[in-house]
Amino acid sequence: MLREEQIDIRKQRAKQTPFRIENRGKNRVFSEFQVTNPESGGCYLVQIRGFETGDNSCTCPDFRSNTLGTCKHIEAVLEHLKEDAPEAFRKRKAAITKAEVTLDYSTPQLRLRLQIPPRHSDALEELAKRFFDEQGYWNNHFSYHEFIPAAEQVPETVSISSDALDFIDRELDRIALLQREKELLAELDTGSDSLRHLLKVPLYDYQIRGAIFLACRGRSILGDDMGLGKTVQTLAAIELLARERGISKVLVVAPASVKYQWETEIRKFTDRSVLVIEGLKESRENLYQSEGFFKLVNYEQVVRDLDSMNAWLPDVIVLDEAQRIKNWTSKTSRAVKKLQSRYAIVLTGTPLENRLEELYSIVQFVDNRRLGPAFEFLHEHRVLDEQQNLIGYRNLDKLRDKLAPILLRRTRSEVLGQLPARTDQTIVVELSSVQKNLYDEQRTTLARLLAKNYLSELDRKRILSCLVNLRLICNASSLFDKQWNGSPKLEEFAEIIQETTEGGAHKAVVFSQWEGMIRLAAEVLDELKIPYVLLHGGLSGAERRGVLEQFQKPEYQVFLSTDAGGVGLNLQQADTVINLELPWNPAVLEQRIARVHRMGQIRPVRVIHFVTRGTIEERIQKILNEKLELFAGLFEGESDEVLFQSVADTSLLDGIRELVGEESPSRKRTPPAEKTAPYPVEKILDSLTELAEALNQWPHEWPLDQPKRLRLEVALKGILERLENSQVGESS
């Protein structure tokens, strides 16, 4: 039923899309057709051999991954051919006139298929029996390398499609590398030091095994915990591939904030040439065409320079911080998945941040058939309630088995003997009286919005705005309203940072999601005369590199950063991490900490989290812990099922209600619909007075900034709601 529904969906899309269809062969029906989508510009070739599902083929990505045996382009051509193919004719299939080997995409595992004409030689018959079963599918009893020489010996020409040849080539390489992996591991177990010195620095045992895995699995994911040296393992794997397969072109795709970090580490650990691709289009084009073993780009450049990157024909593509492609519908994710290379290494310390679908998207880049089509994957692994809300995941043992050949993940606990100690401390602060007033005002507004049964677009924007405002107020009242000052967090921060940096023996990295909060922390450091550097998303790559170099100097004791510095940077000079607020996502929190607590750190690491009591921040801390349990359950646990109703992943609104402690309207008892009693005129006048007083606070500040404008909107909306729900008479 599930597959039939998906086929029907593609038939509907075929009818709804104005495809341009052109016959490129001689036969009116059984021919090759070019199908162009004038809306998207996509153009694919469809081969029609019959009118049953599975008879035909298409060059589009969906056909090659959905295992349905059809796609919207095939269905569009079949619909187009109805006039030229009456019902009786549609029972026929294209005549087989030559021996041909094609690649069958209709099953989870790709298979070679041989079709031979009715009249053929005994030698061709023997070839078919030797390598294929009675239905014409590859029987796997003989090696791929024996087939092509054997096919060349028969009197007929055996045509092999280009994708079938590519598949045979990749299978031969895969089998050879797996054999080589066994040999290299055996060599390592004998105590040989040759592999330990693939780079300019000696590698730990687990890092060598990681490098062997990455090199010999061809296309794989390294999901080690942050700080275990994924960059070093990748560079060692590339050295192995250069030795074993002669690779000479490596494209590294990384967040813009760490592109120069890769340049530094490549020069530090290898003797290979490296180019950072940057500048205007003409300059970038020249760099793509120039010589260089490593070429470094950021994710945003892939969207702009996809054709140039593929034209360079890289042997290996490395994706660093691959959670950037976790959203399979984003423009960046779609562009990255069009990059082409024989080998691929995907790096992420967070294979799953929130949802299993994110993992699926990352695996698609490595092997777009590994987890099957998306519709089957979701059906197999998601747990839904009666309202079709996501409440958990199931069949995780099957998922682990599917991922085992391509995913290597080690946790800090597995290599704890080589890691320094880490201690976490939560500093709880209270809201000031000003903060409390502002916080209660925003929470009341948010509660009123969440209680509504229907939300307009403006309501949704208000909800998100209130949510951000609550978090800003917890940090400092001035981040929400500049007329108010004071922040218990910053007062506590001043005490801790003085203690930490006293004597110059320790350095600290201080994170906040908001640049405004980081700049307030900078003002504290200025008053204390503590030297610091500051990194935020508005800095260019060269400026970020300058900040990193500056922090390495002994006199600079504090590294202030937004989450632009929470990914990829190596800040081992520090031994203290201070989070001025907790991020929404546990993965982001661990990314921050791993900038300091990582391989090579020789001192104990202290991690300090600021949390404001009785606010949204306490609830965020609770949800973070629950999401970490989900993360561990998927990749480290033995359980076959993980439920997370308490994480509130069922919907954004339910998640917000949980954060602010509000009950869902669907669970409240709804009284019979009726008009309220006549609303006293005095109450309406009071509301108008409140509005007048609000306006009077800002007589010279028009236009109003966003927080004040929001408060004005809320006041007006409150008056309108009171009028709508009241029986206001003539006297009113």
173 falls within a domain: no
Rounded to whole angstroms, how far apart are CA atoms 252 and 258?
A: 11
Same domain (yes/no): 474, 558: no
Model pLDDT, residue 682: 53
In this structure, the answer to whether residues 455 and 494 fall within a common structural domain is no
- Long-range Cβ pairs for the range 354-359 (8 Å, 24+): 354/585, 354/627, 354/649, 355/390, 355/649, 356/381, 356/382, 356/393, 356/634, 357/326, 357/328, 358/323, 358/326, 358/327, 359/326, 359/634
- Cα separation, 458 vs 585, whole angstroms: 26
Strand-pairing partners, residue 383, are 392
* C-alpha to C-alpha distance for 276 and 265, rounded to whole angstroms: 13
Expressed as residue numbers, the domain containing 596 is: 420-430+487-613
Percent of the chain with pLDDT over 90: 55
Taking the C-alpha atoms of residue 81 and residue 48, their distance in angstroms, rounded to an integer, is 10
Based on the fold, state whether residues 241 and 360 are members of the same structural domain.
yes
Instruction: Summarize pLDDT for 249-305 with one digit per residue, the tens.
Output: 999 999 886 788 899 889 989 999 999 999 999 999 999 999 999 999 999 999 999
pLDDT value for 716: 62
What pLDDT sits at residue 260?
Answer: 81
Q: Which of 83-92, 158-167, 310-319, 425-434 has the lowest mean pLDDT?
A: 83-92
What average pLDDT does range 678-684 have in this prediction? 52
Do 38 and 138 belong to one domain?
A: yes
Amino acid at 549: E
pLDDT at 671 over 50: no
Q: What pLDDT sits at residue 524?
A: 96
Q: What is the pLDDT of residue 194?
A: 84
Residue 699 and residue 571 share a domain: no
pLDDT bracket for residue 683 (50, 70, 90): low
CATH code, domain with 550: 3.40.50.300
- Specify the pairing of strand 316-319 against strand 99-104: unpaired
Q: 57 forms bridges with which residues in the sheet?
A: 47
pLDDT digits (tens, 9 = 90+) for 256-271: 867 888 998 899 899 9
Instruction: Assess contact for 466 and 445: CB atoms under 8 A.
Output: yes
Radius of gyration of the chain (CA): 31
Q: Is the peptide bond before 703 cis (omega within 30 degrees of 0)?
A: yes
| pLDDT winner (highest mean) among 23-37, 380-394, 601-615 | 23-37
Cα–Cα distance, 277 to 289 (Å, whole number): 11
| Residue finishing a domain among 486, 504, 525 | 486
pLDDT number for residue 420: 67
Q: Are residues 40 and 120 in the same domain?
A: yes
Task: Identify whether 673 is part of a domain.
Answer: no
Q: How confident is the model at residue 677 (pLDDT cuts 50, 70, 90)?
A: very low
Residues 225 and 205 in one domain: yes
State residue 539's pLDDT score: 87
Q: Do 512 and 459 fall into the same domain? A: no
Q: With beta carbons less than 8 A apart as the criterion, state whether 511 and 503 touch.
A: no
Indicate whether 675 pLDDT > 50: no
Residue 355 is predicted with a pLDDT of 77
Which range (152-156, 290-294, 357-361) has the least confidence? 357-361
Report the domain count for the chain: 5
pLDDT band, residue 107 (cuts 50/70/90): confident
State the average pLDDT for the chain.
Answer: 85
pLDDT of residue 133: 94
* Per-residue model confidence as pLDDT tens digits over 310-354: 999 999 999 998 988 988 889 999 999 999 999 999 998 766 656
pLDDT band for 604, please (50, 70, 90 cuts).
confident
At residue 18, the pLDDT reads 94
Rounded Cα–Cα distance for residues 71 and 62 (Å): 7
- In this prediction, residues 169-185 reach a mean pLDDT of 95
The pLDDT assigned to 732 comes to 36
Question: What does the pLDDT average to over 76-94?
Answer: 87
Predicted pLDDT at 1:
81
pLDDT at residue 721, rounded to an integer: 54
Question: Is 74 within the bounds of a domain?
Answer: yes
Least confident of 229-233, 538-542, 713-717: 713-717
CA distance to 170, 277, 537, per residue, from 257 (Å): 34, 14, 8
468 and 520 co-located in one domain: no
182 belongs to a structural domain: no
Q: Which one has a higher pLDDT value, 148 or 629?
A: 148
Same structural domain for residues 518 and 596? Answer: yes
* Separation of alpha carbons 194 and 236, rounded Å: 12
Residue 254, domain CATH:
3.40.50.10810
Among the listed ranges 138-142, 312-316, 464-468, 479-483, which one has the minimum average pLDDT value?
A: 138-142
Q: Is 631 within the bounds of a domain?
A: no
Q: Quick check: is 659 in a domain?
A: no
Handedness of CA 235, 238, 243, 249 (dihedral sign): negative
Neighbours of 134 (CB within 10 A): 8
Domain membership flag for residue 567: yes
Q: Are residues 206 and 299 in the same domain?
A: yes
Residues 459 and 493 in one domain: no
Q: How confident is the model at residue 730 (pLDDT cuts 50, 70, 90)?
A: very low
In a domain, 391, yes or no: no
